[in-house]
């Protein structure tokens, strides 16, 4: 396995084994068994949890059911973050499976967006793709696509069809031969330790002298605290898709290969586990 | 694609080549000579040097140019001394040629020129029509000239034997001087221009070249007998012209144009295969009367010209039938000269800056192309200088001194002292400032050089002072711009440079503009395969998958893969009698099984007696999906173990070729998915090729008794590519992992042949009016199918025509001057001359077509092969040889031995030619370096003393064939030797022992065999010709010899495997011994596991 294409495949088929348990205070008619599922890392919680919803609704009365939401160790899980990002950010150091608590009431309005239907997820996903392309190609590629291509991207994600998705997404990853990368790299850096939801800035794949920017360059520039070695020891892990790429990795390559389907590099900065 | 090269001469007379695969010019390192003109073909380049003499430079290649000289020793019996050299007065010479008419003593046979050398001394030919002769090669007859026999009889009064000696052309990769035509009685008339072409007039085996030259006095000369085996030709002959010629251009085919002093162009007419010199001239007027034509260049069907006002012109309508064309079209650009190369591609040297331009967009449909694009490739030597710039930083002073020193010393090496020319190193500095990083301080050193420069340049080129100043411009270094400092070109020749539509040229991007770090890191160019960060990502992803999935595979998937279906209408060859094609609906359903694995079912719905029925096939049971060679239908066959047993695959046909390939691609994908086949095949895989050229790979199950399970790999080509199936058994598998993507371009050219048939009648002679019972007047070889020029199509959609129809003269049986072959009636044996009894004649028309595809096969250029054999060896065996023995037969019958093949470099480094007295057909190397080969005349040979240290061995031993049989293929396993003859019999070589590896005799094993492959365990697999099954006959069936044991090497019977349309098979990589567990195998001793002890130990 030495083909870059295999990386795309590995990223796409990343799965997190998850155990869903109903929140203890939810009222049930009989005992709710936990539900085990392999969640695709690149998808969204509310997109892939129909089965979970059905499973728990079976044991509940209709009147006790309002909008479903998820929580991990007290933190409500934002459905509009990709699952892999949520896991890396919040639970990467804990044991598998990932224990998620399912709620049907007391929707935390200030933490979460409502997700009344899949159309909302689609709208969110497509807006991310468009934003990413605005950064990468001044929106030229996404605007040249037809409606059905947009649909194919979404359907590919929704139905977990790698080939279907990449047949279109490939075009979003191209860049003119005379240039050596995208205009700007679409990325977001998340930290659990700050209040700020994420860092997103304009950052080019290449320095003015033609040198390719690396992951380390990016962090140094936009989030120096993440890598500044204090006491000579690294305090943080820099994680994408559950792996820690070397800081020497060229950013352009990362963007092409380790972006989520929404075309963003979602980078988690998490404190080094102390064990 | 093999790379080819563009040739060019710069203003200083240095010859450079630019490969289509390269980015840099390479200097032709033959330093003594400076050239005025060059004209290249694929294998050689002719040139006129500054001494006005003609030189030819032949590419070395791996196969030497060798010619056989032979002489016959004739003797007559007399009662006193027996056979002796005393002949009767009426007899032939004691030493003669084959006819006996020419006296030919051995020491009288001389080398034709100093460019040849003898390969060995004279020796007696012991081979008489495939049979070894005893007694020193003598053959006997009653009298001269008569039929000679191998055996001496009571009435054998005379005998003769053939002596052979090979001479070899030695002046390769160097400029070999051609003797000039100067008659001592006349004033010397040196050559002024020269052009090489005509290689497409005749067929490849001849390798004819037309070499035309123009002398200073304006005379035109033709070099006789130039061909690949005779690169120098024999003599110059004068061709009369109506005026004084200045320049000449000979196209690859039958076009020849020249320019006259007066500005008109001369066109040669009547050039043909039988008359390569042509018959007459006609004159074409220049585009405008005030500006005559200065330069012309022709291709296959184009003519480009430059007039005295430097304008470039394209001649419309030029082709074989109308060599003069119709009218002139003015093109943009001002050029010194233009040159038309292969595929009618065009290069030019611009007038303004002497830069080299390539005409982009020249295609068969648009011969005039689109734009001129500058070739900015730098010179190889420039690069090496800039590459060492870091060392120059510290050694700057030294470098400066060196330049000065050599400038004084090496100038006089030129033959003409008044033209010393700037020495190469200074020129390099001058022309390459941009490729040196600008901040380097040694540019200061460079700056002081030009002070000496101008005087030199002005002295060298007094007639071109504007040019020399132009040339010195970059020396100032004010503008470190890549485009400004190119070499100044004087002449270009593209006759050896194959540029095609899909060829990606790297000539147009200067490397200097980008900093080196970008070049190496730029992701789209090199994916930095080896970078640590990349390895680490791969590794971590694998670990992550393991961590997050390994113990949780039983969890449900969040997103279910829904069933999906492809449906369509196909035809099915029905299972019941009468067998025929019936229309069916077909549906492929894909689903996720219980264990999460994907599988698919193919349903075939048909109607019988108005009742709807269906058959279904689980794709995980499918063992092979094979496109079927069928003229009428686009059909393919689907095999399962059960269907294989019945010899009755599911046969389906699609309406169009496209439809069929869509279905095949989808079924293939589903098949691989449900069988979880991905990645490259294991080194033990069994490889085979069908008659359509599809390559199949089968992973051998440990017991090898299981049904055949080939799965389609990638489609590859027929013909010359078929041997790659065997390549694959070792070489190309590794090639898969080699390149960045592992996918390479492949192309193949073949000829489609049709026949023109005619019948004689007393009134009009031969006409295309046949008898009512006759075959079609335009037909295929059998005469059963009508094939006209208009209706005949390339073999499949992937092939495209690349030539027009031409008469094929190289047909077996010979042909007359117009390509006709005569016979008494259709169908009969044809001969190349007309007799009284011949009432019909035919001739073969051929048309070349070409296929370009891609696959995980790396082409080993440039020699086309017909057979290849890799030493069988257990994979990963301890102490395996660093280089892997590989033998091959070229398409011309040369025996070749590949050097430098190893696991790391599966393509090897070079071919070593192994001399033979005749063309060969098949070769095979056994595990103990026993090399066996079969010649085209059906005789078998054993090569002595082949070993890792002596990869080519020392000599051939002729092995008598089985009685009255001509062998065609041989395969050697660990020790067993099997051969096939032309009648499909398979023979086992008896008595092969370590001390006598040639063995003692042939023992018949089986008939009905088309192809045999003996593996490293001496296991025998064949392609059987015809196998009867429960439903029908299938041709080309894979069979496995059962009961092969150390004491029973011939085996007992056949186990029939998958069948129908297989052509070739290789099990030579499969050393998996069935009943052993890996631990046993490792612990086993040498005697029990002979396959693990490769090397020259046993035989």
pLDDT digits (tens, 9 = 90+) for B46-77: 999 888 888 999 887 778 888 889 999 988 88
For residues B928 and B946, give the distance between their C-alpha atoms in angstroms, rounded to a whole number: 9
Instruction: Test A37 with B555 for CB contact under 8 angstroms.
Output: yes
**Looking at beta carbons, which residues of chain A come within 8 Å of B534?**
249, 253
Q: Tell me, what's the pLDDT at B839?
A: 86
Distance from CA of B826 to the nearest CA of A (A): 57
Taking 80 as the threshold, does the pLDDT of residue A187 lie above it? Answer: yes
The torsion region of residue B1046 among left (phi > 0), alpha (psi -120 to 50) and beta comes to alpha
| Identity of the residue in B529, B532, B679 whose CB atom sits nearest the CB atom of A246 | B532
Q: Tell me, what's the pLDDT at B977?
A: 93
Instruction: Test A210 with B514 for CB contact under 8 angstroms.
Output: yes
Q: Tell me, what's the pLDDT at B478?
A: 37
Cβ atoms B45, B4 nearer than 8 A:
no
Q: How high is the mean pLDDT of chain A?
A: 88
For chain A, count helices (H), then strands (E): 10, 8
Q: Tell me, what's the pLDDT at B700?
A: 67
**Looking at beta carbons, which residues of chain B come within 8 Å of A17?**
548-549, 551-552, 555
| Identity of the residue in B528, B548, B552 whose CB atom sits nearest the CB atom of A242 | B548
Q: Tell me, what's the pLDDT at B76?
A: 87
Cβ atoms B393, B436 nearer than 8 A:
no
With 0-12 / 13-18 / 19 or more C-beta atoms within 10 angstroms meaning exposed / middle / buried, residue B879 is exposed
Q: Tell me, what's the pLDDT at A99?
A: 93
**Looking at beta carbons, which residues of chain A come within 8 Å of B529?**
2
More confident residue, B694 or A207: A207
Q: Tell me, what's the pLDDT at B220?
A: 92
Cβ atoms B11, B461 nearer than 8 A:
yes
Q: Tell me, what's the pLDDT at A228?
A: 65
* Residues of B contacting chain A (CB within 8 angstroms): 514-515, 517-518, 521-524, 527-529, 531-534, 536-538, 540-545, 547-549, 551-552, 555-559, 561-562, 679, 737, 741-742
Residue of B nearest to A16 (CA): B548
Q: Number of residue pairs across A and B with CB atoms under 8 Å?
A: 126
Partner residues linked to B272 by β-bridges: none
Distance from CA of B543 to the nearest CA of A (A): 9
> pLDDT-based confidence at A133, cuts 50/70/90?
very high
For residues B1073 and B1068, give the distance between their C-alpha atoms in angstroms, rounded to a whole number: 13
Residues present in chain A in total:
275
**Looking at beta carbons, which residues of chain A come within 8 Å of B537?**
7, 243, 245-246, 249, 257-258
Contacts of B888 (CB under 8 A, 6+ apart): B723, B865, B867, B868, B869, B895, B896, B897, B898, B911, B923
Residue of B nearest to A159 (CA): B559
Instruction: State how beta strands B806-808 and B82-84 pair.
Output: unpaired
**Three-state secondary structure string covering B131-168:** EECCHHHCEEECCCCCCCECCCCCCCCEEEEEEEEEEE
| Stretch A25-53: mean pLDDT | 88
**Looking at beta carbons, which residues of chain A come within 8 Å of B547?**
96, 242
Instruction: Test B549 with A38 for CB contact under 8 angstroms.
Output: yes
Side-chain half-sphere CA neighbours of A99 within 13 A? 9
**Nearest CA among B197, B199, B201, B193 for reference residue B220:** B193
More confident residue, A58 or B180: A58
DSSP annotation string for B870-925: E----TT-TT--SS--EEEEETTS-EEEEES--SS-TT-SEEEEE--SS-EEEEEE
Give me B829's structure tokens. 């044996």
Distance from CA of A49 to the nearest CA of B (A): 7
**Looking at beta carbons, which residues of chain B come within 8 Å of A179?**
none
Which stretches of chain B score pLDDT less than 50?
A: 1, 383-484, 511-529, 594-595, 705-742, 875-876, 878, 1074-1099
**Looking at beta carbons, which residues of chain A come within 8 Å of B559?**
40, 43, 48, 158-160
**Looking at beta carbons, which residues of chain A come within 8 Å of B561?**
159-160
| Identity of the residue in B514, B524, B548 whose CB atom sits nearest the CB atom of A16 | B548
Instruction: Test B544 with A38 for CB contact under 8 angstroms.
Output: no
For residues A270 and A89, give the distance between their C-alpha atoms in angstroms, rounded to a whole number: 6
Instruction: Test A96 with B548 for CB contact under 8 angstroms.
Output: yes
Partner residues linked to B534 by β-bridges: none
Cβ atoms B309, B303 nearer than 8 A:
no
More confident residue, B89 or A132: A132
| Identity of the residue in A2, A180, A243 whose CB atom sits nearest the CB atom of B529 | A2
Instruction: Test A1 with B521 for CB contact under 8 angstroms.
Output: no
ipTM passes above 0.85:
yes
Q: What is the pLDDT of residues B295-343, one digit of tens each?
A: 999 998 899 999 999 999 999 888 888 889 888 999 888 899 999 998 8
Residue with structure tokens 């067998």? B579
pTM: 0.62
In order of B864, B925, B1009, the CA distances from B933 in angstroms are 18, 9, 18
| B462 backbone dihedrals φ, ψ, rounded to 5° | -60, -30
Cβ atoms B538, A5 nearer than 8 A:
no
**Looking at beta carbons, which residues of chain B come within 8 Å of A97?**
552, 555
């Amino acid at each position: 396995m030495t083909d870059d294409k295999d990386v795309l495949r590995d990223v796409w088929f990343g799965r997190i084994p998850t155990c869903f348990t109903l929140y203890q205070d939810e009222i049930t008619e009989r005992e709710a068994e936990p539900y085990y599922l392999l969640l695709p890392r690149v998808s969204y919680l509310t997109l892939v949890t129909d089965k979970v919803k059905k499973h728990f609704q079976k044991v509940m009365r209709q009147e006790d059911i309002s909008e479903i939401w998820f929580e991990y160790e007290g933190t409500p899980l934002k459905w509009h973050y990709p699952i892999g990002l949520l896991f890396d950010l919040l639970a990467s150091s804990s044991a598998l499976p990932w224990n998620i608590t399912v709620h049907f009431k007391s929707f935390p309005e200030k933490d979460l967006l409502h997700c009344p239907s899949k159309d909302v997820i689609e709208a969110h996903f497509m807006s991310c793709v468009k934003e990413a392309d605005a950064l990468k190609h001044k929106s030229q590629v996404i605007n040249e696509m037809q409606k059905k291509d947009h649909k194919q991207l979404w359907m590919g994600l929704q139905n977990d069809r790698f080939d279907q998705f990449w047949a279109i997404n490939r075009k979003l990853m191209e860049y003119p031969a005379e240039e050596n990368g995208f205009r700007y790299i679409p990325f977001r850096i998340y930290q659990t330790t700050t209040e700020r939801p994420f860092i997103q800035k304009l950052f080019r794949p290449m320095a003015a002298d033609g040198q390719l920017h690396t992951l380390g360059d990016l962090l140094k520039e936009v989030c120096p605290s993440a890598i500044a070695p204090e006491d000579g020891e690294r305090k943080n892990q820099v994680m994408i898709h559950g792996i820690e790429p070397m800081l020497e990795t060229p950013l352009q390559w990362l963007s092409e290969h380790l972006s989520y389907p929404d075309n963003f590099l979602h980078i988690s900065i998490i404190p080094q586990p102390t064990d | 694609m093999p790379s080819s090269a563009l040739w060019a001469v710069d203003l200083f007379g240095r010859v450079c080549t630019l490969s289509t695969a390269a980015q840099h010019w390479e200097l032709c390192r033959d330093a003594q000579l400076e050239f005025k003109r060059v004209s290249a073909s694929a294998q050689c380049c002719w040139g006129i040097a500054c001494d006005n003499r003609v030189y030819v430079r032949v590419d070395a290649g791996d196969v030497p140019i060798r010619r056989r000289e032979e002489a016959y020793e004739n003797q007559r019996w007399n009662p006193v001394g027996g056979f002796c050299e005393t002949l009767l007065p009426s007899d032939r010479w004691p030493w003669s040629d084959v006819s006996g008419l020419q006296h030919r003593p051995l020491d009288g046979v001389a080398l034709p020129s100093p460019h040849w050398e003898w390969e060995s001394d004279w020796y007696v030919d012991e081979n008489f029509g495939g049979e070894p002769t005893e007694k020193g090669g003598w053959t006997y007859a009653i009298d001269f000239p008569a039929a000679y026999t191998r055996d001496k009889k009571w009435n054998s009064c005379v005998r003769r034997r053939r002596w052979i000696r090979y001479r070899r052309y030695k002046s390769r990769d160097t400029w070999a001087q051609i003797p000039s035509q100067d008659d001592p009685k006349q004033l010397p008339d040196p050559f002024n221009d020269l052009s090489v072409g005509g290689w497409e007039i005749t067929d490849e085996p001849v390798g004819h070249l037309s070499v035309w030259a123009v002398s200073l006095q304006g005379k035109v000369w033709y070099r006789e007998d130039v061909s690949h085996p005779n690169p120098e030709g024999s003599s110059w002959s004068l061709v009369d012209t109506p005026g004084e010629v200045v320049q000449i251009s000979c196209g690859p085919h039958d076009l020849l144009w020249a320019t006259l002093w007066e500005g008109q162009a001369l066109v040669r007419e009547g050039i043909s295969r039988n008359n390569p010199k042509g018959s007459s001239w006609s004159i074409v007027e220049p585009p405008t009367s005030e500006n005559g034509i200065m330069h012309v260049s022709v291709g296959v069907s184009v003519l480009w010209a430059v007039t005295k006002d430097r304008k470039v012109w394209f001649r419309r309508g030029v082709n074989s039938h109308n060599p003069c064309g119709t009218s002139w079209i003015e093109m943009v650009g001002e050029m010194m000269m233009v040159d038309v190369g292969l595929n009618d591609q065009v290069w030019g040297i611009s007038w303004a800056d002497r830069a080299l331009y390539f005409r982009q967009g020249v295609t068969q449909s648009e011969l005039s192309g689109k734009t001129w694009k500058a070739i900015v490739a730098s010179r190889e030597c420039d690069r090496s200088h800039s590459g060492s710039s870091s060392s120059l930083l510290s050694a700057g002073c030294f470098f400066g001194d060196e330049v000065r020193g050599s400038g004084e010393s090496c100038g006089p090496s030129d033959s003409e002292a008044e033209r010393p020319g700037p020495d190469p190193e200074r020129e390099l500095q001058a022309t390459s400032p941009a490729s040196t990083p600008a901040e380097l301080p040694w540019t200061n050193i460079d700056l002081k050089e030009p002070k000496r420069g101008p005087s030199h340049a002005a002295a060298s080129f007094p007639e071109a002072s504007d040019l020399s100043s132009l040339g010195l411009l970059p020396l100032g270094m004010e503008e470190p711009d890549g485009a400004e400092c190119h070499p100044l070109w004087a002449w270009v020749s593209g006759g050896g440079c194959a540029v095609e539509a899909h060829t990606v040229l790297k000539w147009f991007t200067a490397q200097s503009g980008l900093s080196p770090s970008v070049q190496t890191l730029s992701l789209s160019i090199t994916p930095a395969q080896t970078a640590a960060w990349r390895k680490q990502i791969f590794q971590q992803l694998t670990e992550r998958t393991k961590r997050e999935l390994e113990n949780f595979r039983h969890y449900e998937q969040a997103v279910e893969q829904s069933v999906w279906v492809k449906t369509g209408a196909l035809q099915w060859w029905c299972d019941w009698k009468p067998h025929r094609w019936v229309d069916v609906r077909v549906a492929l359903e894909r689903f996720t099984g219980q264990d999460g694995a994907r599988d698919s079912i193919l349903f075939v719905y048909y109607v019988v007696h108005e009742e709807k029925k269906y058959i279904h096939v689980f794709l995980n049971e499918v063992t092979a999906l094979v496109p079927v060679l069928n003229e009428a239908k686009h059909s393919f066959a689907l095999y399962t173990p059960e269907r294989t047993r019945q010899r009755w695959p599911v046969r389906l046909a699609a309406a169009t070729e496209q439809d069929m390939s869509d279905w095949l691609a989808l079924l293939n994908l589903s098949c691989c998915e449900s069988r979880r086949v991905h990645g490259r095949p294991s080194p033990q895989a069994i490889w085979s090729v069908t008659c359509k050229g599809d390559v199949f790979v089968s992973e051998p199950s440990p017991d090898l008794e299981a049904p055949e399970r080939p799965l389609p790999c990638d489609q590859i080509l027929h013909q010359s590519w078929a041997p790659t199936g065997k390549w694959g058994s070792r070489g190309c598998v590794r090639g898969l992992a080699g390149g960045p993507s592992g996918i390479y371009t492949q192309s193949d050219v073949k000829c489609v042949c049709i026949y023109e048939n005619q019948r004689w009648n007393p009134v009009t002679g031969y006409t295309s009016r046949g008898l009512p019972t006759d075959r079609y007047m335009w037909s295929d070889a059998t005469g059963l199918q009508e094939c006209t020029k208009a209706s005949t199509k390339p073999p499949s959609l992937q092939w495209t025509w690349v030539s027009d129809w031409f008469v094929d003269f190289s047909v077996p049986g010979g042909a007359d001057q117009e390509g006709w072959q005569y016979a008494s009636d259709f169908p009969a044996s044809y001969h190349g001359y007309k007799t009284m009894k011949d009432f019909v004649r035919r001739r073969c028309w051929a048309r070349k077509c070409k296929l370009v595809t891609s696959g995980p096969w790396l082409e080993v250029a440039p020699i086309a092969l017909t057979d290849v054999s890799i030493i069988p060896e257990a994979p990963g065996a301890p102490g395996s040889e660093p280089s892997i023995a590989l033998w091959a037969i070229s398409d011309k019958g040369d025996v070749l031995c590949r050097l430098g093949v190893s696991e790391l470099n599966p393509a090897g480094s070079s071919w070593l030619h192994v001399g033979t007295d005749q063309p060969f057909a098949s070769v095979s190397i056994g595990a103990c370096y026993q090399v066996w080969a079969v010649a085209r005349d059906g005789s078998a040979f054993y090569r002595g003393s082949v070993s890792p240290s002596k990869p080519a061995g020392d000599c051939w031993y002729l092995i008598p064939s089985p009685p009255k049989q001509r062998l065609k293929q041989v395969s050697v396993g660990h020790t067993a030797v099997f051969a096939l003859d032309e009648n499909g019999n398979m023979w086992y070589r008896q008595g092969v022992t370590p001390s006598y590896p040639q063995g003692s005799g042939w023992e018949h094993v089986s008939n009905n065999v088309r192809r045999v492959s003996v593996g490293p365990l001496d296991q025998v697999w064949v392609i059987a010709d015809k196998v009867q099954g429960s439903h029908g006959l299938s041709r080309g069936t894979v069979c496995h010899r059962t009961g092969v044991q150390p004491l029973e090497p011939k085996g007992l019977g056949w186990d029939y495997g998958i069948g129908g349309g297989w052509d070739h098979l290789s099990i030579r990589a499969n050393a998996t011994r069935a009943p052993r567990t890996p631990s046993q195998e490792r612990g086993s001793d040498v005697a029990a596991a002979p396959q693990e002890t490769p090397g020259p130990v046993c035989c």
